[in-house]
Amino acid sequence: MKLSHIALRNIMRNRRRSILSGSAIAVATMSIVLLFGMMEGMLDDMARNEQRYETGMVHILNAEFDKYARLNPVHLYIKNAEETVKAFESYPWVTAVSERINFAGRIYQDNREYNVFGKGVDFSREKDFEKLDEVLVAGRLPDPGSREAVIGVKLAAELGIDLTDSEPDKITILTMKSNRTSKHFTVEVVGLLAYPVSSLNSVTLLMPLATAQDFLLMKDGLSEILLMVDEEQYNANRAAALLRDELGSRYPDLKIESWLETNLIFSMMNMAANIYNVFALFFFVLGSSVIINTTIMVIYERMQEIGTLGAMGMRGKELTRLFFLEAFFISLIGALIGTLIGIVIILAIGKSGIPLGSMMEDLEGFSMSNYLYLGLSIKNTVVVFIYSVAIASLSTFIPSRRASKIEPVEALRAI
């Protein structure tokens, strides 16, 4: 008869109380699994949005651009684009490429001004890169080389564009050519995009790459090249470093960065996520308070038994272990159940997401979706589980140690 067997059977002695203790731990663990799931989901979602819409996993642009970004240095673009793209594309682990021309523009309509963020893109590639099928909610994508565009749904609503009527919806955009002189042109809106990131919907305009190159005097030029890489082989940072090593000297005018290097906010958020460990700690201690109390009560109630076992020759540390094991098993079961429930909830609703309504609209600069997704990270979940069990056990260790301090003779005298 091992101590662990006795401990397990002792759990069943006051089943209700054990269930209560376990439940407290389960609830705490589940909450933290969900909290971490939320964090994971949010970071995943933001990472996906950042990568698809902003920077790719690896971001390539004119090395000088960022330095003068404030001045809208449209002339600092990637020349010899075709050849450059080929060079980057030649790596088999580069899974998707986006070629973009970016321009800030303005639409003047009925005495109002609307800012747009325009992108000239090769739709045949961009379709995969941005998963445009998922966001195109009306109409179609522009034909290559045409003077057509797709725009964000909110921008369309503000401009009063309705694709369902028969007349063509044309918009004229004032912007700047790559020689830094002004330019405006008219395009027909043929489709609407509903991005998950609501701030994009009020500014985005996509038009065919060749047309943008022509209008903005960027023959064979691109503002940026975005790459997706096979993460099984290289993570974004490794991929960017490798490309810098191998192509950096051939393209000294280009800056090659991973999206994490580009996006310091995201890196910071990743770090800030550590604050959740403190929340977790707090929650676990709270969840453990019930089992601490239970352990104290159990020791008090089983005084005679402690005396008997002591008389039989069990030493203090063995008695401590007996009570500790009991609390440990409750914690283990509670944490396991909490973790499982958390996982089930994440799997059930995490993918479809919880709508956040318009809450996110004001968060400019955060590429967070309007849906709160919950992400399941095996690593996080295992960590939460272990963390929960560890804290519950550690906190019950203190009352368990009381068992070793009790003199058998006094324990036996207790009724």
Partner 1 sequence: MIAIEKVTKTYVSGDVEVKALRGVDLTIQDGEFISIAGPSGSGKTTLLNLIGCIDTLDSGKILIDGNPVYDLDKDAKALFRRETLGFIFQSYNLIPVLTAFENVAFALNLLDMDDKEIRERTMAILAEVGLQGMEDRRPNKLSGGQQQRVAIARALVKNPKIILADEPTANLDSHTGEDILKLMREMNEKHGTTFIFSTHDRMVMDYAKRLVSLHDGLIQNDETRS
Partner 2 sequence: MKKIITLLLFTGLLASAGAITGSEIIEKSDELQSFDTQKSSGSMISHDRFGDITSSFISWSRGDREFLLEFTNAEEAGQKVLRVNDTMYLYDPDAEETIRLSGSALKDTLFGDISYEDVSEGNDTLDTYNAELVGEELKKGKQCYKVELTAKKRNAPYYRQLLWIDKSTFVLVFGEYYSKRDVLLKNIEVLGVKEVGDKFVLSHLILRDLIKGDSHTEMKLDDIELNPVLEDRLFTEEALF
Task: Report the interface residues with partner 1, using CB under 8 A.
Answer: 1-2, 6, 9-10, 12-13, 304-305, 307-316, 407-409, 412
Token pair for 287: 């969840």
Element (DSSP H or E) covering residue 105: strand 94-109
76, amino acid identity: L
The residue among 73 and 316 lying less far from partner 1, judged by its C-beta, is 316
Tell whether residue 179 is a contact of partner 2 (CB under 8 A).
yes
Q: To the nearest whole angstrom, how small is the minimum distance from the Cβ of residue 397 to partner 1?
A: 19
Q: Binders of partner 2: how many residues, by CB under 8 A?
A: 21
In DSSP terms, which residues pair with 119 in a beta bridge? 102, 206
- Taking CB under 8 A as the binding criterion, the range among 179-187, 191-199, 303-311, 389-397 that sits at the site for partner 2 is 179-187
Query: How is the chain split among helix, strand and coil, in percent rounded to 5?
Result: 55, 20, 25
The residue among 86 and 317 lying less far from partner 1, judged by its C-beta, is 317
Could you say which of 20, 174, 337, 394 contacts partner 2 (CB under 8 A)? 174
- 62-81 footprint of partner 2 as x/- string (CB under 8 A): ------x----x-xx-----
Q: To the nearest whole angstrom, how small is the minimum distance from the Cβ of residue 317 to partner 1?
A: 8
- Taking CB under 8 A as the binding criterion, the range among 3-11, 176-184, 282-290, 325-333 that sits at the site for partner 2 is 176-184
Of the candidates 202, 103, 205, which has an alpha carbon nearest to the alpha carbon of residue 158?
Answer: 202
Maximum C-alpha span of the chain: 98
Could you say which of 181, 249, 274, 358 contacts partner 2 (CB under 8 A)? 181
Whether 357 contacts 370, CB under 8 Å: yes
Read off φ and ψ for residue 122, nearest 5 degrees. Answer: -85, 100
- 202-221 footprint of partner 2 as x/- string (CB under 8 A): -------------x-x----
Say which entry of partner 1, partner 2, none residue 311 contacts (CB below 5 to 8 A, set by partner kind).
partner 1
Could you say which of 177, 293, 356, 404 contacts partner 2 (CB under 8 A)? 177
Torsion sign over Cα 37, 38, 43, 49:
positive
Whether 2 contacts 311, CB under 8 Å: no
Coil, strand or helix at 161:
coil
Say which entry of partner 2, partner 1, none residue 363 contacts (CB below 5 to 8 A, set by partner kind).
none
* Alpha helices, H only, 229-302: 236-247, 259-262, 264-272, 275-301
Residues 96-135 that bind partner 2 (CB under 8 A): 108, 113
Coil, strand or helix at 80:
coil
Say which entry of partner 1, partner 2, none residue 312 contacts (CB below 5 to 8 A, set by partner kind).
partner 1
Whether 182 contacts 175, CB under 8 Å: yes
Kindly list the residues in this chain that would bind partner 2 in the complex (CB under 8 A): 68, 73, 75-76, 108, 113, 147, 170, 172, 174, 177, 179-186, 215, 217
